[in-house]
Amino acid sequence: MKFISLREIAGYLTQMITIENYRSISSMNSPIILACQGRSGSTTLMRILNSVSGCNICGENWNMIGSLLDFYDNMKKTTLQPGYMREYDGNSFCAWYNVFDPDAVTEDVKKLMRAVFESERFEHWGFKEIRFGLEDYESMETRLNNFAELFPSVKIVFLVRKDVESHVRSGWWADDKEESRKILNDQLKNFSKYSEAYPHRSYMLSMENMLNLDDRFWGLSGFLGMIFEEGKISEILRNKVDYEVKR
């Protein structure tokens, strides 16, 4: 018989007391976005979530989801333009005449996103992406809010690395440490600003939280509505992705 530790249960219960979390947790097929800094442990976090029964988080995809979200946003803006019409009238200002049905297009966008990331076998589905937050805050906010408009139960996890000086010596960031330091700090600001503005659907986590298995990490289980198994997570961390630091 397998026992779940009190620590695991406490982490699960940490953030389940609000009505908003209860509603999102009770929703089936809940999407999850891992918006991460590059070289912050995003693959390890993905592996941790995928160790939970009923969860399937896909890897990166060159932010192709961003193109779909921009398409959806442009479709919405088109319908708000003066002169937008679906029935052609040459006697009126018809510069924005289009035949598409906004509701049908919205459903098609949702179906396409589900086709890319969702499997009926899993209650939770989603993906990780390291390119969110590299754009200006307003663009990031619009994209994430459009996703939330399409999938209201979405949960967004922001993963960062607290030790910036170590970070800029890791992987490709070491190619230009000064520029990397600015990019990472700006991305952190964007993540923090969004998390503060939308706490009901976003959660800030650091690589250090994850590697140390501290209370903040265990609180993630409650935010996502999952039960983390410490044994599985410890095994994943023992075989974690190499965070090589360049000298």
Torsion of CA 132, 137, 139, 142, to 10 degrees: 90
- pLDDT category of residue 23 using cuts at 50, 70 and 90: very low
- Closest to 68 in 3D by CA, of 129, 156, 137, 159: 129
Q: How many angstroms separate the CA atoms of 61 and 56, rounded?
A: 15
Q: How many angstroms separate the CA atoms of 191 and 132, rounded?
A: 9
What percent of the chain has a predicted confidence (pLDDT) above 70?
85
- pLDDT category of residue 90 using cuts at 50, 70 and 90: confident
Question: What's the mean pLDDT in 134-156?
Answer: 98
Please count the CA atoms within 13 angstroms of the CA of 69 that sit on its side-chain side: 18
Mean confidence (pLDDT) of the chain: 89
Q: Does position 26 have pLDDT exceeding 90, yes or no? A: no
- Closest to 40 in 3D by CA, of 112, 122, 132: 132
**Higher-scoring residue by pLDDT: 247, 177:** 177
For residue range 174-184, what is the model confidence (pLDDT) as tens digits? Answer: 999 999 999 99
For residue range 101-141, what is the model confidence (pLDDT) as tens digits? Answer: 999 999 999 999 999 998 878 889 999 999 999 999 999 99
Query: How many other CB atoms sit within 10 Å of the CB of residue 138?
Result: 9
Query: Could you tell me the two tokens for 199?
Result: 């706490």
